[in-house]
A = this chain, B = another copy of it.
Amino acid sequence: MTRPIAHDPSSQERAAEPGSGMAADIADQPEAYARLIAEADQIAEVAAAVAARQPRHVVLTARGSSDHAALYGAYLTEIRIGLPAGLGSPSATTLYGGRADYAGALVIGVSQSGQSPDLCELVTAARASGAVTLAITNEPGSPLAGAAELVLGLSAGHERALPATKTYTTELLALLMVLEGVRAGDGRLGADERAFLDTLPDRAADLLADDTAVQLADRYRFAGSLVVTGRGYAYPTAREAAHKIMETSYVPALAYSGADLLHGPLAVTNPRAPVIAVVGAGPGGEFMRDVVARLDERQAEVTVVGPAEVPGAHARLPVPAVDERFAPLLDILPLQRLTLALALTRGENPDAPPGITKVTPTR
């Protein structure tokens, strides 16, 4: 399901400039969304094949950024399909020889590269014990794709920088399309989903044209640590943003669900550590408004990612007002731009952070 991406003749020269690869990956996202949306029929076939097997619960397994996409998939599964969902621990299988019985489960492995041996091993074991298995990967020729019964390619094209951006967002989109298709039973998307997808590439392009996030990066230049928070569908966005900031700017960035933040870690917030709060136009956002008020009481400086002003917040990265279920596909975009600008202002090259590699094989 991947197709070749036209070679960009200037990519070699631009690669010399720090952050140019990540900037290009970020800018690609509206087109990457459009490419995957154009594959709706093939995705519907995969969804219908899953639905026909009537799974009783869903296990998602992933590492790094893909783990945050998998978490989004877990929320979609529980809320939209009405099946329990959890994130599987590969180490139970790969380290301790656990042989869990996955009969009746849908097991989804999510990985940009499809290379990680631990995910392959979990998917292989699950398939052998009777699970429906699905690989979501940018490399449909990868070992993970080979291990799974069903495969969904991301069609994101080559990702230039080490930190995942367009492969993360297309993972979100692939999960949305396939899980909504499973919900429908015949794999077809409903009117609400189709209406959203019709506008997604343009909305993503408009959002990426807004430079508010770049100004914010300058304000965070000297921050010694950061906190990112969101609840429900917005929690994966908070985790992904914190992860991305850490792997490019090396500033400790703590991610919390808004509910968990009230169970202790609120104590770590203070006037010296900026907070980014994802506050959507729905029930998760309603809850987060109280969290922002509590943070304001603690004199934390809160920047909101959201479609509306929030009392107690000091700044806002504006995003479109969409159903919270769709918001993760848009809300992460200004946070990617913030990540890139922050790394550059701190003198780092986010295209190639030291100490990490694009493909990380773990067992």
Interface residues of A (CB under 8 A from B): 56-57, 59, 63-65, 67, 74-75, 78-80, 82-93, 95-105, 118, 163, 224-225, 231-233, 235, 243, 246-248, 250-252, 254, 257, 259-260, 262-270, 273, 283-284, 287, 294, 298, 324, 353-356, 360, 362-363
Contact = CB atoms under 8 A, between A and B. Distances in A.
Contacts of A96: 75, 79, 232-233, 283-284, 324
A76 to B, nearest CB: 9
A40 to B, nearest CB: 25
Given A267-B354, A360-B263, A362-B263, A91 B246 contact: no
Contacts of A163: 264
Nearest to A129: B82
Given A96-B283, A105-B57, A246-B268, A64 B263 contact: yes
A264 B356 contact: yes
A251 to B, nearest CB: 8
A259 B356 CA distance: 12
Contacts of A360: 262-264
Nearest to A290: B362
A145 B263 CA distance: 20
Given A86-B85, A86-B87, A260-B63, A265 B283 contact: no
A356 B266 contact: yes
Nearest to A233: B96
A89 B63 contact: no
B264 A247 contact: yes
B86 A88 contact: yes
Contacts of A263: 63-64, 356, 360, 362
Nearest to A250: B268
B100 A83 contact: yes
Closest 10 CB pairs of A and B: A86-B86, A64-B263, A78-B92, A79-B98, A95-B283, A247-B264, A252-B252, A225-B252, A259-B362, A91-B232
A182 to B, nearest CB: 14
Contacts of A85: 86
B259 A298 contact: no
Contacts of A264: 64-65, 163, 243, 246-247, 353, 356, 360
A56 B104 contact: yes
Contacts of A95: 231-232, 283-284, 287
A178 to B, nearest CB: 18
A362 B262 contact: yes
A142 B215 CA distance: 49
Given A263-B360, A266-B356, A100 B87 contact: no
